[in-house]
């Protein structure tokens, strides 16, 4: 049988995204060619000895590759949650572009990354092409076992922190919001179960275009995120905020009210990737602000919520609670 693979060095399509196009559509890439029966027979004759030993590609990490970071402590995972097209991947591309162009996250210094290729690939999609257009990232693949964890090592207060941004397809998260046990939402379940905090995306464009439907989807997804949140921090991102003026006020009010009840005290930040000037608040300031707010939340001590156990005894020694017990 004819086998297909990519001839470009460093590209592992179809197992990973196509490096050339920064896209899952490797079929459209000139380097992805049909390799005939000759290669197939060579592979067969070599037998099982030809398995690769490369531990990672530098694009993005999968859960089973997190051992790479285990020697220096437990990494913190930030889950990006939002509907399809909400701007999750573009946020990551913009964050990296801003950091690469010298913007700083206050008190957090860049100290390396295991996924530089992945960051670069996404940032490349935001660069203006020769014809003046911007390509934007492709939709993140919706296969249930597609994972893309983007790594940043950051130095803060003298310590090295490994941070992973867990990106995934909004389509999968919508399936998960409908039914958390949906067999096609395996990666959404993994992110929800393992993330230490969440960036919750509210897509302004969807609110403009879909109105009531977008409102229902956002509220349903938020309810699902809340269901087993266990005190993990959430930052609400109003993405594509260049379109806020086109949103219906009454719908926005209902969404805001609902989110403030679902995630009490959560910070909301408006962002846009379409800058109007050189130091655009929504683009250049707020995209960094999202990362800064989240990182500070991740490292600030969480309040302990210990409920005193009820003790079934008449022994005064065990029943004594001091001033604490009388409150």
Ligand X SMILES: Nc1nc2c(ncn2[C@@H]2O[C@H](COP(=O)(O)OP(=O)(O)OP(=O)(O)O)[C@@H](O)[C@H]2O)c(=O)[nH]1
Distances in Å between the alpha carbon of 305 and those of 133, 232, 245?
A: 51, 13, 41
Q: Does 57 bind ligand X (CB under 6 A)?
A: no
Q: Does 287 bind ligand X (CB under 6 A)?
A: no
Q: Which residue is nearest to ligand X (CB)?
A: 170
Q: Does 89 bind Mg ion (CB under 5 A)?
A: yes
Q: Which stretch binds ligand X (CB under 6 A): 77-85, 100-108, 248-256, 289-297?
A: 77-85
Distance CA 222, CA 244 (A): 20
Residue among 140, 148, 273, 289 that touches Mg ion (CB under 5 A):
140
Cβ-contact 116, 13 below 8 angstroms = no
Q: Which is nearer to Mg ion, 239 or 286 (CB)?
A: 239
Going by C-alpha positions, the residue among 83, 67, 229, 61 that lies closest to residue 148 is 61
Q: Which is nearer to ligand X, 12 or 274 (CB)?
A: 274
Of residues 142-171, which lie at the interface with ligand X (CB under 6 A)? 169-170
Cβ-contact 167, 89 below 8 angstroms = yes
Q: Does 77 bind ligand X (CB under 6 A)?
A: no
Residue among 87, 185, 294, 298 that touches ligand X (CB under 6 A):
87
Going by C-alpha positions, the residue among 59, 143, 153, 57 that lies closest to residue 112 is 153
Cβ-contact 147, 15 below 8 angstroms = no
Of residues 247-306, which lie at the interface with Mg ion (CB under 5 A)? none
Q: Which is nearer to Mg ion, 142 or 224 (CB)?
A: 142
Structure token pair of residue 161: 């922190």
Question: How many residues line the site for ligand X (CB under 6 A)?
Answer: 21
Q: Which is nearer to ligand X, 88 or 284 (CB)?
A: 88
Strand ranges in 217-307 using DSSP code E only, listed in sequence order: 234-239, 268-270
Q: How far apart are the first and last CA of the chain?
A: 75
Cβ-contact 121, 17 below 8 angstroms = yes
Q: Does 142 bind Mg ion (CB under 5 A)?
A: no
**Residues found near ligand X in the complex (CB under 6 A):** 82, 84-90, 136-137, 139-140, 169-170, 205, 240, 242-243, 272-274
């Amino acid at each position: 049988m004819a086998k297909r693979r990519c001839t470009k060095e460093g590209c592992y399509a179809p197992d990973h995204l196509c490096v050339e196009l920064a896209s899952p559509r490797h079929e459209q890439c000139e380097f992805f060619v049909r390799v005939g029966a000759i290669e197939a027979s060579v592979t067969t004759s070599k037998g099982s000895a030809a398995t690769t030993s490369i531990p990672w590609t530098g694009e993005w990490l999968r859960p089973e590759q997190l051992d790479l970071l285990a020697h220096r402590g437990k990494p913190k995972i930030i889950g990006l949650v939002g509907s399809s097209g909400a701007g999750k991947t573009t946020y990551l591309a913009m964050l990296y572009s801003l950091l690469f162009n010298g913007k700083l996250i206050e008190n957090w210094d860049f100290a390396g990354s295991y996924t530089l290729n992945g960051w670069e690939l996404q940032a490349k999609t935001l660069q203006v092409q020769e014809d003046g257009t911007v390509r934007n990232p492709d939709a993140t693949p919706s296969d249930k076992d597609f994972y893309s964890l983007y790594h940043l090592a950051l130095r803060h207060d003298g310590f090295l922190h490994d941070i992973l941004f867990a990106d995934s397809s909004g389509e999968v998260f919508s399936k998960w919001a409908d039914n958390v046990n949906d067999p096609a939402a395996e990666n959404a379940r993994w992110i929800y179960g393992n993330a230490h905090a969440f960036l919750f995306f509210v897509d302004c464009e969807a609110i403009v275009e879909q109105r009531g439907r977008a409102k229902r989807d956002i509220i349903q997804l938020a309810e699902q995120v809340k269901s087993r949140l266990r005190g993990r921090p959430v930052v609400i991102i109003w993405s594509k905020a260049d379109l806020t003026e086109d949103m219906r006020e009454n719908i926005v009010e209902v969404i805001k009210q609902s989110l403030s009840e679902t995630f009490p005290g959560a910070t909301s930040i408006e962002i846009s990737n379409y800058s109007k000037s050189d130091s655009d608040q929504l683009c250049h300031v707020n995209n960094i602000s999202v990362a800064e707010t989240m990182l500070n939340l991740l490292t600030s001590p969480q309040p302990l919520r210990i409920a005193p156990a009820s003790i079934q005894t008449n022994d005064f020694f065990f029943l004594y609670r001091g001033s604490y017990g009388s409150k």
